[in-house]
Structure 1
Amino acid sequence: MELNTSNNNTRKMIVIHGGHFSSLGGFYEEVSNVLMKDTDWKVGTLDGFDDILYGGFGVFENKEEIEIIWKESQKSKEDLGFTATREFYENKIKQGKPFNIELIQQKLDDLIEGKGQSLFEILVEIIQSHTNITLKME
């Protein structure tokens, strides 16, 4: 990941390289490196990823206009697709508490029936829920 700030553009550009990772853990590492550099805080959950996108304690300020460019997003879509998502839910069910097993089982059932979201789709939705962030897939 790299961070570019150009003078003719008020938006900060943040680049996520899909080529740098092939798992959710790898994604967390990638976004930690670029969004949280020079801090001790590391992203390790979906909620944590959502939290840092509010800004204010990483490389951009709260509500600052930023653009995230997700390079090799097609690779990430496959890496964080059905199989990775199924394993993600199955691992949570195996762990049990503090996870809501019924809710996670429902999400897993939805996924298997073709109605659920993949991890990639969940990550994209989290990014898009932040109105100050523009997401570009490459």
Structure 2
Amino acid sequence: MLNTSNNNKRKMIVIHGGHFSSLEGFYEEASNVLMKDTDWKVGTLDGFDDILYGGFGVVENHEEIEILWKESEKSKEDLGFTLTKEFYENKIKQGKPFNIELIQQKLSELIEGKGQTLFEILVEIIESHKNITLILD
């Protein structure tokens, strides 16, 4: 007889905040844990969002996943106001293909204390995937 009950075994993925202190470092860590055995690397916020949909790397499509972000307080600090401000300023300096008006608005919101930090953006991206449970440790 086939056992069709779901024993609710979620795949556990661990992101170690101690392994990085920059956005590039986060992408490297995410690539190492989410894209094992592939030659594709995470390099943008959109790219990070894309791999969470699954179908390549270690995440299957719509599979129940638990992401444990260890040392998340360190990451919250590392990917906080200062780095986020630099992130936006660099995009403004680069100009095209970035939407400079939008980025300037996001930078202004950040400076006014209303905008999201990179850490908050990454958390929001993860939490937007209903099949993923995020645990900040």
Q: Which of the five TM-score ranges fits, normalised by the shorter chain?
A: over 0.9
Specify every segment of 5 or more residues in structure 2 that has no aligned partner in the other structure, as ranges. 1-6
Match of 2:60 in 1: 61
TM-score normalized by structure 2? 0.94
C-alpha distance in structure 1 between counterparts of 2:74 and 2:128, whole Å: 22
Q: Deviations over 1:6-56 (max 9, x none)?
A: xx7510000000000000000000000010010010000000000000011
The residue identity in structure 2 corresponding to 1:121 is: E
Q: How many residues align?
A: 131
Q: Deviations over 1:58-117 (max 9, x none)?
A: 102000000000000000000000000000000000000000000000000000000000
Off by >2 Å, runs of 4+ in structure 1: none
Which has the higher Rg, Structure 1 or Structure 2?
Answer: 2
Match of 2:3 in 1: none
C-alpha distance in structure 1 between counterparts of 2:49 and 2:59, whole Å: 14
Match of 2:12 in 1: 13
Match of 1:48 in 2: 47
C-alpha distance in structure 2 between counterparts of 1:19 and 1:131, whole Å: 26
TM-score normalized by structure 1? 0.94
Matches within 5 A, 1:23-102: 23-102=22-101
C-alpha distance in structure 1 between counterparts of 2:62 and 2:8, whole Å: 16
C-alpha distance in structure 2 between counterparts of 1:32 and 1:97, whole Å: 26
C-alpha distance in structure 2 between counterparts of 1:134 and 1:54, whole Å: 13
C-alpha distance in structure 2 between counterparts of 1:36 and 1:9, whole Å: 23
C-alpha distance in structure 2 between counterparts of 1:95 and 1:39, whole Å: 30
